[in-house]
Chains A and B, each alone.
Chain A
């Protein structure tokens, strides 16, 4: 692969297995993982290239219905379907996690069908109490054990700390990249940003850092291809997006998507890991507490308003820092984790005076016209 910067990101976005197949052919081993919770630092410490298993909004589901009913998360159905069609035959195995209901069950079903040589399931608690971090830590210790058993290698504390530093370096660069959208107009579009994030989830960590460094320089320099100034500066919240179609649809109107809180965006990269004497302590805290996702039950406090603040305050901070004037809440049909949030999060933004609207979609690339009308009407309302 010779492309660099944005061109590289676009190539890998268009063909997600491009880089990992290349590496695999060179003898590198690829480890799949599901969702943002598997401990990637451990994966790379074992010299695997991590590959996030995702669905495709584009590929029609033809095989998965023999295994699961249609009323489950469409992205997971797609992931199962793609697996059954042999699209991830380059991974040696995968790490699943108890993130949401359907993901948990998907992981076991996926392994039953795919029979990878390696499969580990990380049981992540929904509660984030002090004892819960210790519990997740013990789960990570178990993950370490099975990885060591499978590879015949051992990882020590120093190696793990090194990996944490590398992953944190990528996270810092991603935050820097997002920072370039604080300006008006932003230096890159929401659509381009999503392509870059998805590409990062399909390549080695250090290579990803290099690519982001290149992209930061590139978008600062370029004269052609910059987003234009538009009235709407939107934040996109919700379930994972694996293709840019919905973001493109939104950005075809009088707005730029300047920030996000989605699984294939800031949620995956945002918080750093604090390097603690036993690195697993810092890892457990980062993945369970600092990673913000509605699947984690935040402590409820004295009032509903405080509850909302604990759950959504960080999004308000994003909105302030990125000068956002409208929020698009989106989730796919059958997603319960995000579905339950909608009234509370909408009420929160109504209360603090940031307009928000909710779009439910079916995780496809087609039939976006009705969604477009809603976004268009929303923009006419707020600007």
Chain B
């Protein structure tokens, strides 16, 4: 049996096809407001897996753009999907911290299931967006700033909690002659400690896994290590955990139906562009 999971984020869409193990994975652009490229990502994943659309037993959509996806059978929140995906990759996980471009989440797991969660989707200062804004202000690439930050001799303190004001502060610190590495180290620490404080609401316990695009940033990983006192576990491909979890949950739903002697009820299954946000 093959199941597919598609995680439609605000900028990137991630799709996987799973059988007994991961068969195909694709990461592509969402296509802005109307997600008109999300189905292309799904098609590509199916092509790479070599599986026809109708043969997929279950397709689950998750993420920011999970609503009204014509080719998905069901939608499940990214909280539940991330938890499932990470638990698959790291069976000993108790806490997940996920930092995306637009939000940050803390998820507590017990017995492989979500038992508590906390989210920040109001304030950019605890998300990947903060890094983007600063990188742009400094004329650097997003994938450069992590490496630069770990070379810091000492961390500069970023006092402003607001992304907009922090940007101004960073520019003036550069003008003062503070090394860019130090500023970036301070920046990474600022984000990590904001997210850490949020996650403390669900009481961080080991094993702790860091996911989301930001987990590829070596500076963020180090900042978390400094706060935790131990290194967090990182998946090989931190962007895919939501889609993996979605696919696995899909397989579970199909199995559950079969155990009851029923057929899993599919959705409309139209492999076309998703249209409007509700």
Contact present between A and B (CB < 8 A): yes
Q: Is A225 an interface residue (CB 8 A)?
A: no
CA distance in complex: A317, B178 (Å): 61
B234 CB to closest chain A CB (Å) equals: 23
**Is B119 a contact of A373 with CB atoms below 8 Å?**
yes
Q: Is the CB of B119 within 8 A of A380?
A: no
22 A-B pairs, CB-CB below 8 angstroms?
Answer: A370-B119, A370-B121, A370-B122, A373-B77, A373-B79, A373-B119, A373-B121, A374-B117, A376-B77, A377-B77, A377-B79, A377-B80, A377-B114, A377-B117, A380-B76, A380-B77, A380-B80, A381-B80, A381-B113, A381-B114, A381-B115, A381-B117
Q: How many A-B residue pairs have CB under 8 A?
A: 26
Main secondary structure of the interface of A (DSSP, over half): helix
B25 to chain A minimum Cβ distance, whole angstroms, is 24
Interface members, chain A 347-381 (any B CB < 8 Å) = 370, 373-374, 376-377, 380-381
Q: Name the residue among B76, B77, B119 with the largest chain A CB count within 10 angstroms.
A: B77
**For residue A376, which residues in chain B have a CB less than 8 angstroms away from its CB?**
77
Interfacial chain A residues near B115, Cβ < 8 Å: 381
In the complex, what residues of B have CB within 8 A of residue A370's CB?
119, 121-122
4 more CB-based (< 8 A) A-B contacts, given A373-B121, A380-B114, A381-B115: A370-B119, A374-B117, A380-B79, A381-B80
Q: How far is the CB of B257 from chain A (nearest CB, A)?
A: 16
CB closest chain-B residue, reference A350: B116
The B-contacting residues of A in range 257-306, CB under 8 angstroms, are none
Chain A positions near chain B (C-beta within 8 angstroms): 370, 373-374, 376-377, 380-381
The docked-state distance in angstroms from the alpha carbon of A373 to that of B79 is 9
A118 to B122, CA, bound (A): 43
Chain B: interface residue total (CB-CB under 8 A): 12
Smallest CB separation, B8 vs chain A (Å): 13
Q: CA A206 – CA B38 in complex, angstroms? A: 57
When chains A and B are docked, how far (Å) is the Cα of A381 from the Cα of B121? Answer: 20
Using a CB-CB cutoff of 8 Å, which residues 202-238 of chain B contact chain A? none
B110-164 interface with A by 8 A CB criterion: 113-115, 117, 119, 121-122
Cα of A57 to Cα of B64 in the assembled complex, Å: 25
**What's the Cα separation between A381 and B76 when bound, in Å?**
11
* CB of B123 to closest CB in A, whole Å: 12
A residues near B121, Cβ cutoff 8 Å? 370, 373
CB <8 Å contact, B80 and A374:
no
Cα separation A381 to B115 with both chains bound (whole Å): 7
Cβ of B77: which chain A residues have Cβ within 8 Å of it? 373, 376-377, 380
Chain A hits for B114, CB < 8 A: 377, 380-381
Once bound together, how far apart are the Cα atoms of A370 and B121, in whole Å?
7
A-contact bits for B68-98, CB 8 A (1 contact / 0 none): 0000000011111000000000000000000
**Nearest CB in chain B: distance from A306 CB, A:** 25
For B80, the chain A residues whose CB sits under 8 A away are 377, 380-381
Tell me which residues across on chain A come within 8 A of B117, comparing CB atoms.
374, 377, 381
**What's the nearest-Cβ distance from chain A to residue B242, in Å?**
12
Q: How far is the CB of B85 from chain A (nearest CB, A)?
A: 14
Q: How far is the CA of A381 from the CA of B113 in the complex (A)?
A: 7
